[in-house]
Chain A
Amino acid sequence: MVEYSVFSLISNALSGHKNWGRAWRDPEPKKHYDVIIIGGGGHGIASSFYLAKNHGIRSVAVLEKGWLGGGNTGRNTTIVRSNYMLDENAHFYEKSLQLWEQLSHELNFNVMFSQRGVINLIHSDSQMDAFTRRGNTMRLNGIDAELYDREQVRRFLPYLDYSKNARFPIYGGLLQPRGGTARHDAVAWGLARGADRQGVDIIQNCEVTGFKMQGNRITAVETTRGEIGCGTVGLAVAGHTGHLAAKLNMKLPIESHILQAFVTEPIKPMVDTVVTFGAGHFYVSQSDKGGLVFGGDLDMYNSYAQRGNMPMIEHVMSAGVAMMPNLSRLRVQRHWGGIMDMSMDGSPIIGKSPIDNLYLNCGWCYGGFKATPGSGWGFAHTIANGKPHPLNAALNLDRFRLGRTVDERGAGPYPNRH
């Protein structure tokens, strides 16, 4: 497969760009793989990439029921950050951010990672205290953070509502300058090409429909393209985890919920960072094509439907206009939904399962895109060694039984409140 470089670009330009090869193969499933990863989203593909690259395990298949990155990976608002406070999260997400910083280079594929900063707005004295504490904790953990006062925010984001009528007055903001966005499809494609080049079989249109068991082990997965034998299985199906877990008689601390996102008609560059407005639950960035990409809260009820409902659309729009009044002049071009694997403490699960050769990668809530490289890296380590890496060791399934939950938001065991 061709290496992308200025030379390959020039030579292909001379032949009218008609001779570019495939970026990855479209193989038929083999009879058996040492590792089968279920789910061809960012996490599944990244796991296969690092299994091959870091651990030399190349008999790997990624089974995807639809098309690559057609799940939450292709539906998310692409915010990448590591502004966490709890140690169990902070070091893991910071590792992921560091992997993002070298990902395009590592993959020889531009994932358009743009460190344009992520700022959380602050709207009260008590929030100012809380964010000061968060920022200090981040800095003590070696993660970048800057606290802005109202005037600094006004200079940075002149288009927000600073009037006396503002629904939530802006007191300041906490900025993570190294945060930003990446191009979601490019992440899936770049990782797929990287995995494929090391021998991983990426098999699309292949839905896992059941499991063959022997004692407490999975010996094969049943798919719409036949039965495939396996050594180890990694489950990375995000919002569909509950559905597949049920086929294994496994119940998990997870509920599936729907989250919507929106994009406006393209406009000239205006939002050159990522702004999040926690008081109204709204966040916005601008894509390279010019559309404002934004989202808000869950629809709140359990759902596997991948399509949202009108009341939440209205809520997100009103929150957005409260923060950024000029938004009311724009037309929304598209909106869509994705199914979130909401965990009971708001933190993910990467680790062992009650089944001997099954590993779980789930519970990402609405923050798993930023974890894509870190999740794959940690999951590959966990599968290859049969035990977690210290960076994801606390994000295990047992923590719920043991009462060691990692509840960043302090919201308690209510999956739709994280």
Chain B
Amino acid sequence: MIRISCPYCGLRDHDEFTYIGDATKNRPTDDASDEDWFNFVYIRDNPRGPHQEYWQHIQGCRAFVKVLRNTLTHEVLATGLPGDVLSNKISEGKNEPSAK
């Protein structure tokens, strides 16, 4: 079980959440180029390592949570609200849980 720290509810099991997907993709403006739309809809970095992603706390407070997670080890490195910029606190040497 992966444990994800919801900014509102604290540390919870991941099966309380629904995986939404890559959090680095921002919707282009309506008049953006085809290339921008193509990149938004279809292209993914798909990194082996830290990945920014959205999970929704669907069986809790229903908030969208931004998660920085290592796709190779499943380790959650940081969590926050969708607008937060997440830094990899664990790799920076701080080991405390990243919940606010």
Contacts and interface: CB of A to CB of B under 8 A. Distances in A.
Contacts of A310: 1
B14 interface: yes
A304 B1 contact: no
A303 interface: yes
Interface residues of B, number: 27
Given A309-B1, A414-B21, A302 B46 contact: yes
Interface string A162-186: 0000000000000000000000000
B71 A302 contact: yes
A251 B71 contact: no
Contact of A243 (B19, B44, B48): B48
A57 to B, nearest CB: 31
B57 interface: no
A254 B46 contact: yes
A138 B34 CA distance: 35
Contacts of B19: 300-301, 416
Contact of A413 (B2, B42, B69): B42
**Which of B1, B44, B69 has its CB near the most chain A CB atoms (within 10 A)?**
B44
B23 to A, nearest CB: 11
| Interface residues of B, dominant DSSP | mixed
B30 interface: no
A414 to B, nearest CB: 7
A410 interface: no
Interface residues of A, number: 27
A415 B21 CA distance: 9
Interface in B32-81: 34, 38-39, 41-48, 51, 53, 55, 69, 71-74
Given A303-B74, A304-B72, A311-B15, A251 B41 contact: no
Contact of A311 (B14, B44, B72, B74): B14
Nearest to A402: B38
Contacts of B55: 301
Contacts of B47: 242, 246
A401 interface: yes
A94 interface: no
A60 interface: no
A294 B41 CA distance: 33
Given A305-B72, A305-B73, A242 B42 contact: no
Nearest to B2: A309
A407 to B, nearest CB: 12
Given A302-B51, A309-B2, A256 B73 contact: no
Contacts of B2: 301, 309
Given A254-B46, A256-B48, A304-B71, 8 more contacts: A251-B46, A301-B14, A301-B55, A302-B22, A309-B14, A311-B1, A344-B41, A413-B42
Interface of B: 1-2, 13-15, 19, 21-22, 34, 38-39, 41-48, 51, 53, 55, 69, 71-74
18 contacts: A242-B46, A242-B47, A245-B46, A252-B44, A253-B43, A255-B22, A255-B44, A255-B46, A256-B48, A300-B19, A302-B21, A304-B72, A309-B1, A309-B2, A309-B14, A311-B14, A401-B34, A401-B42
